[in-house]
Structures are given as structure tokens and as C-alpha cells.
Structure 1
Amino acid sequence: MKSKVILYMVIVICFLDLFIQLPIITPFALELGASEFMAGIVVAMYSLFNMVGNVAGGYFSDKFGRRNTLLFGMIMQVFFVLIYTTTPSLGILLAVRAIHGFSSGLLTPAAFSLVADISRKSAIGKSMALTGVAIGSAAILGPAAGGIISSTVSYEMVYYVLSGVYVFGTLLTLFSIKESSTKESRQSHMATPFIELLLRPALNVAYISSFTLMIAQGTLAFGLPIKTASLNADASMTGMMLSVFGVTAIIVFASPINKIYSIYKSESLVAAGILVLSLSMILLHFVPTIGTIFGVMVIYGLGFGLIFPSMNKIIAEHSAMNERGKANGIFYSYFSLGSVAGSILAGYFATVFSLPFLGIGIVTLVMLAVLMFIRYKLEMNRP
């Protein structure tokens, strides 16, 4: 139990660098002379190379082991994060974002493969729900810490603190995390090629779910400030709304409600969650008051709570130990791809409808239909 608690702490650290930068990376880029368009590219650069890092991290964790990959990624993070503090120009900032996104991407497949490896089959759903608590904690702590440190000291101090956090993560991994993969699984890591994992129908349910979830997340980050401003509310309301969704999801993950992950099929929970997200998007387009937006954020948090552990459980259930790292690498690369797609689509629908939510709600319903078709084909092919 102690080793699992430490592993969840490591997952908080893995995701902290994403969330702690949310309030500062755009103004940091603008301070270096970036236009708003170029600042957007600076933000997207991290996600683009994070996707590459996810695939590489999955491969390394199958070949060299989960712990070794985590350790390597943590050490890279210590040094790459520090480069931000001496970044003199926009060009160098873009390069730093690329290498930082890559090194950060190495961590996630290794960490989640480790959780799946050490979890009993009957408890995988609950274990993945607790990873959601870890990520939710990072999502709540990170932006607040980044905003407070940058406003009271400087942008550079955020990265000094973050580097220190990764020193702590390196020590935790070195002294408290044990390797979960076996020598036999590492020796047979090439038995399953990437293309087979990419095309495996059962895993595609998880891939599509992660892509769809992150399209919705990207739209929420882009469109919620616009919606808030249209109702003449203070900009701080946006942060409070996002916190409501995060807290709701954590309640689902950590409370007795998490028994649903063991009772119901993961595919059914994912489908129900995407339906709830789609309805939330459509409601956000039409709701007329700040109070009703808070209500919709609770609904959105419930949808997120249904999806996140369930799609991670699908990866764990439909991949063997020698291929699980690669499967998680592909899975989390879809996360990054969904973030980029969500921002682009949200921008397009905002120009068409003034708000992006209605268009995205339709897109996520289409993705749900694709997912249901794949699930139908799977059921038909089962003996």
C-alpha cells in the first residue's frame, strides 16, 4: 500500500509541470516579444513533442523497464526545466518547449504501466480512479502555485521550484519505486509491433475516448473565458468554474462512487461519459447565467469522472505486460493530439457560432457514434 501511495505522489509530480505553467507560459512568451499567434505556437509546441515523448516513453518502458524510464525522464526534467530560467529569446523558448514536452512525455506511459502492472485485475478500475485523484490534485495545485509564485517573485522562480520538485521525484523513484515488469517481458518487448497496437479494436475504444476527452478539455480552456466575458462576469470566475469540474471529478474518483468501475463494463462507462460531456458542451452554449454554468461544470465533472479511469482500465485489460508501455504511449499521444485538435476546432467554431461549445458538442457526439460502432463490431466478433 505504501509503494502505491508513493507511486501516486510520483504521478502528481509527472503532471505538475503541465498545470503549473498554465498561467505563465503565454505571458512569458509575450514578454519575450511573441505575437498572440506565436504565443499560441509556443503553447502548442509542448503538446506536439509531448506526443513524441509518449510513444518513446512507452517503448523504453517495455524495453528497459518502467522504473528506469521514470528515473531517466525525471532526471531530464530536472535539467530541461532549468533552461527556462536563462531563456533570452523566443527561438530558444520554442526549442526549450520542444525538449521539455518530449522529456515530460516519457513519464506518463511508464507511470501508468507501473500502476496497471502492480494492480490486481479486480482492482484496476479503482487504481486508475486514484490516478485520477493524483492528476486532479496536480490540476488544482499547479495553476494556483504557478500564478502565486510568478506574481510574487518571477516566472523564472516557477521553474526553479519545479526543478526542485523533480529532484524530489527523482529521489522518490530511485529509493521507493520497484520495477514492475519482468525480465521475460522486457526480453519480448518487440513481440508486438506498434502498428498492431495502433489497430487493435479494443484499444481503439480507449484511444478514441482520450482524443474526444481532450477535444472537450481544450474547448473548455479556450471557450469558458469567452462565455464568462459575454455574461459580464469577472475573469476570476473561469478559474472557479474549472475548479468545480475538477473537484466533482475527484469526488467521483475517491468516494464510494468509484465502485462503478468494478461493477460496470469500462466501454459502457466511457460511452456514458462522452454522452454527458457532449450534453455539457451543448448546454454551455445556451445557458444564460453564471449560476447555471457552475451547474453544468458539475455535470461535466461527472462525465470526466466516468471516462478517465475507464479508458485507462481498457488499456490495462487489453495489453500484456511486454506491450503495455507501448499501448500507454499511443494512448497518451492521443491525449496530446486531442489537445491540439481541440484548440484548433474551438477557434474555428468560435468564429462561426461566436462560442465553440455547440460545434464541439456535435463533434463529440460524432466521436461517440464512431466508438459505439467499434464496440458493436467487437461484440459481433466475440465467440
Structure 2
Amino acid sequence: MKSKIILYLVIVICFLDLFIQLPIITPFALELGASEFMAGIVVAMYSLFNMVGNIAGGYMSDKFGRRNTLLFGMIMQIFFVLIYTTAPSIGILLAVRAIHGFSSGLLTPAAFSLIADISRKSAIGKSMALTGVAIGTAAILGPAAGGIISSAVSYEMVYYILSGVYVFGTILTFFGIKESSTDDSRTHHAATPFKELLLRPALNVAYISSFTLMIAQGTLAFGLPIKTGLLGLEASMTGMMLSVFGITAIIVFASPINKIYSVYKSESLVAIGILILSGSMMLLHFAPSAAFIFIVMVIYGFGFGFIFPSMNKIVAEHSEMNERGKANGIFYSYFSLGSVAGSVISGYLATVFNLPFLGIGIVTLIMLMALLFIRYRLELNRS
């Protein structure tokens, strides 16, 4: 139990890396002279190379073990996040976002494969809900901390603190986490090729869900600081708004509401969650005030809460130990690709049509229809 608690704390640290940057990276890029579209590219660069890191981290966690991959990624993070503090131009910032995204991408497949390895099949839903609590905690602490620290001190101070957090994470991983994969699973790590996992129909439901969720998240990362700026609000207010959806998601994960993960099919919960996200994006387009945005963030949090544990549960149930790292690597590469698509498309929609949120709401509805089609085909094959 103690090692599992430590692992959940490590997951908080892994996702703090993403969330603490949400309220600051767009204004940081704009301060260096970027256009709105280029700022979207800066946001997306992290996620693009995070996707490469996800694939590498999944492979490494199957071949070398989950714990070793976590340690390697944590140590890289300590040094790479410090480079932000010396970025003098957009070109350098883009390069820093690339290497930081890669090192961060190594961590997630290893951590989630470890959770799935040590969880009983009957308890996978609950375990994934608790990982949601960990991520929700990061979603609460990260944006608020990023906004407050950057406003009170500087953008650079955020990265000094984040580097220190990764020193702590490395120590926790080294002393508190045991390897979960077996010698046999690591020996047979190449038995299942990436192509087979990429095309496995049941896993495709999780992949599309991940992609769609992060399209919405990438849009928030790019568009919400601009929206709050247009309303005349401080950067710290943006952080608090982003934290609200994390609080809501934690309530879903940790309260009796979490029985839904055992009672209802994961595919159904994912579909409902995506519908909620689509509605939230559209509402943000019309939001006239800070109070309205806070209400929408609560709604968004319910959608996030329905989706996240459910799609992780799908991956855990439809992969074996020797292939789980690669399956999670593909899954989180879709996660990263969705962030790229969300921030780039919303940046383009903002620049050309001034419709980042409304446009993305339509895009996520289209992804929902694709997911429902795949689910329909799966049900036909089962019958």
C-alpha cells in the first residue's frame, strides 16, 4: 500500500509538469514576440515531442522495466526544465519545448503500466480512478501555482521550482518504488509488434478518446489565457479557472460517484464525457464573464472525470504485461497528438476566424461520431 501511495505521488509530479505550464506558456511566448499562431506552435511543440517520448518510454518500460524508465526520465527532467530560464528567443524556446516534451513523455507509459501491473483485474477501475485523483491534484496545484508564481516573481521561477520537484520525484522513485514487470515479460517484450497494438480494435476506442480529450485540453492551454485577457482578467485568474475543472474531476474520482466505473461500460462513459467536453468548448466561446467561465470549468471537469479513468481502464484490460508499456506508449502518444492538434488548430481558428472554442467543439463532436462508429463495429463483432 505504501509503495502504491508513493506511485500516485509520482504521477502527481509527472502531470504537474504539464499543468503548471498551462497558464504561462502562451503569454511567455507572446512576451518573446510570437504571434498568436506562433504561440500555438510553441504550445504544441512540447506535445509533439512528448508523443515521441511516449513511444520510446513505452518500449523502454517493456524492455528495461517500469522503474528504470521512470528514473531515467525523472533525471532528464531535472536538467531540461532549467533550460527555459535561459531562453532568449522564440527559436530557442521551440527547441527547449522539444527536448522537454520528449523527456516528459518517457514517464507516463511507465507509470501507468506499473499501476496496471500491480492492480487486480477486479480493481482496475478503482485504481485508474485514483490515478485520476493524482492527475486532478496536479490539475489543481499546477495552473494555480504557475499563474501565481509567474505573476508574483517571473516565468523563469516556475521552472526553477519545477526542477526541484523533479529532484524530489527522483528520490521518491529510487527509494519507494519496486519494479512491477517480470523477467519473463521483459524477455518477451518484442512478442507483440507496435502495429498489432496500434490496430487492435478495443484499444482504438481508448486511443480516440485520448486524442479527443487532449484536443480540448490543448485548446484550453492556448485559448483560455487569451479569453481571460480579453475580459481584462489577471493571469492568476486563468490558473484558478483551470484548477476548477481539476477539483470537479477529483470529486468524481474520489466520491461515491466513482461507482460508475464499475457499473457502466467504459466505452459509454467515454462517449458521455466527450459530449460534455464538446458542449463546454462551445459555451466558452460565448462566455461573457469570469463567473460564467468558472461554471463551464465545472461542467468540463465532469466530462474529464468520466473519460480519464475509463479510457485507461480499457488499455489495462486489453493488454498483457509484456506489451502494456507499448500499448500505453501508443495511448499517450495519442494524448500528446491531441494536445498538438488542439493548440495548433485553435491557434489557427483564433487567428483566421476568431473562433477557437466553437470550432474545437465541432471537431470533438466529429471525433465522438468516429468513436461511436468503432464501438458499433465492435458490438457487431461480439454478437
With the length of structure 2 as denominator, give the TM-score of the two structures: 0.91
Deviation (angstroms), 1:244: 2.3
SS of the equivalent of 1:21 reads: coil
Cα contact 2:56–2:106 (8 A) shared by 1: yes
Cα contact 1:15–1:135 (8 A) shared by 2: yes
* CA distance in 1 between partners of 2:222 and 2:360 (Å): 12
Counterpart check, 1:339 vs 2:339: yes
Q: How does 1:119-138 map to 2 (within 5 A)?
A: 119-138=119-138
With the length of structure 1 as denominator, give the TM-score of the two structures: 0.91
Q: What is the one-letter code of the residue matched to 1:198?
A: L
* CA distance in 2 between partners of 1:10 and 1:171 (Å): 10
Cα contact 1:275–1:365 (8 A) shared by 2: yes
* CA distance in 1 between partners of 2:10 and 2:38 (Å): 33
* CA distance in 2 between partners of 1:344 and 1:361 (Å): 15
Q: How does 1:141-290 map to 2 (within 5 A)?
A: 141-225=141-225, 227-228=227-228, 237-286=237-286, 290=290
Between 347-356 and 135-144, report the one with greater CA deviation.
Answer: 347-356
Provide Cα deviations, 1:3-25, integer angstroms capped at 9, x if missing partner. Answer: 11100110111112222233443
* CA distance in 1 between partners of 2:209 and 2:126 (Å): 19
Deviation (angstroms), 1:123: 1.2
Cα contact 1:347–1:356 (8 A) shared by 2: yes
Change (3 A) 1:269 1:162: same
Cα contact 1:226–1:355 (8 A) shared by 2: no
Between 198-207 and 118-127, report the one with greater CA deviation.
Answer: 118-127
Between 348-357 and 207-216, report the one with greater CA deviation.
Answer: 348-357
Partner residue, 1:107: 107
Partner residue, 1:367: 367
Q: Which runs of 5+ in 2 are unaligned?
A: none
Change (3 A) 1:297 1:148: closer
Aligned residues between the structures? 383
* CA distance in 2 between partners of 1:287 and 1:28 (Å): 24
* CA distance in 2 between partners of 1:277 and 1:87 (Å): 34
Q: How does 1:89-100 map to 2 (within 5 A)?
A: 89-100=89-100
* CA distance in 1 between partners of 2:8 and 2:80 (Å): 23
* CA distance in 1 between partners of 2:230 and 2:26 (Å): 22
Change (3 A) 1:35 1:269: closer
* CA distance in 2 between partners of 1:100 and 1:50 (Å): 8
Change (3 A) 1:273 1:180: same
Cα contact 2:29–2:39 (8 A) shared by 1: yes
Between 137-146 and 373-382, report the one with greater CA deviation.
Answer: 137-146
* CA distance in 1 between partners of 2:85 and 2:225 (Å): 29
Deviation (angstroms), 1:237: 4.7
Cα contact 1:54–1:108 (8 A) shared by 2: yes
Change (3 A) 1:229 1:21: closer
Between 223-232 and 188-197, report the one with greater CA deviation.
Answer: 223-232
Cα contact 1:276–1:303 (8 A) shared by 2: yes
Partner residue, 1:52: 52
Provide Cα deviations, 1:58-96, integer angstroms capped at 9, x if missing partner. Answer: 000011110010011111112222333344554443322
Q: What is the one-letter code of the residue matched to 1:21?
A: Q
RMSD: 2.4
* CA distance in 2 between partners of 1:362 and 1:88 (Å): 37
* CA distance in 2 between partners of 1:43 and 1:177 (Å): 32
Provide Cα deviations, 1:326-351, integer angstroms capped at 9, x if missing partner. Answer: 11111111111111111233234446
* CA distance in 2 between partners of 1:333 and 1:29 (Å): 24
Deviation (angstroms), 1:352: 6.6
* CA distance in 1 between partners of 2:223 and 2:27 (Å): 19
Counterpart check, 1:304 vs 2:315: no
Cα contact 2:266–2:310 (8 A) shared by 1: yes
Deviation (angstroms), 1:156: 3.5
* CA distance in 1 between partners of 2:128 and 2:369 (Å): 25
Between 90-99 and 220-229, report the one with greater CA deviation.
Answer: 220-229
Q: How does 1:17-28 map to 2 (within 5 A)?
A: 17-28=17-28
Between 22-31 and 75-84, report the one with greater CA deviation.
Answer: 22-31
* CA distance in 2 between partners of 1:35 and 1:293 (Å): 25
Provide Cα deviations, 1:152-180, integer angstroms capped at 9, x if missing partner. Answer: 44444333322221111111111110111
Between 87-96 and 5-14, report the one with greater CA deviation.
Answer: 87-96
SS of the equivalent of 1:13 reads: helix
- Identity, % of aligned positions: 86
Change (3 A) 1:243 1:158: closer
* CA distance in 2 between partners of 1:228 and 1:90 (Å): 23
Cα contact 1:19–1:138 (8 A) shared by 2: yes
* CA distance in 2 between partners of 1:31 and 1:229 (Å): 14
Cα contact 1:208–1:367 (8 A) shared by 2: yes
Q: What is the one-letter code of the residue matched to 1:208?
A: I
Provide Cα deviations, 1:313-332, integer angstroms capped at 9, x if missing partner. Answer: 00000011111111111111
Cα contact 1:227–1:355 (8 A) shared by 2: no
Change (3 A) 1:347 1:100: closer
Between 237-246 and 208-217, report the one with greater CA deviation.
Answer: 237-246
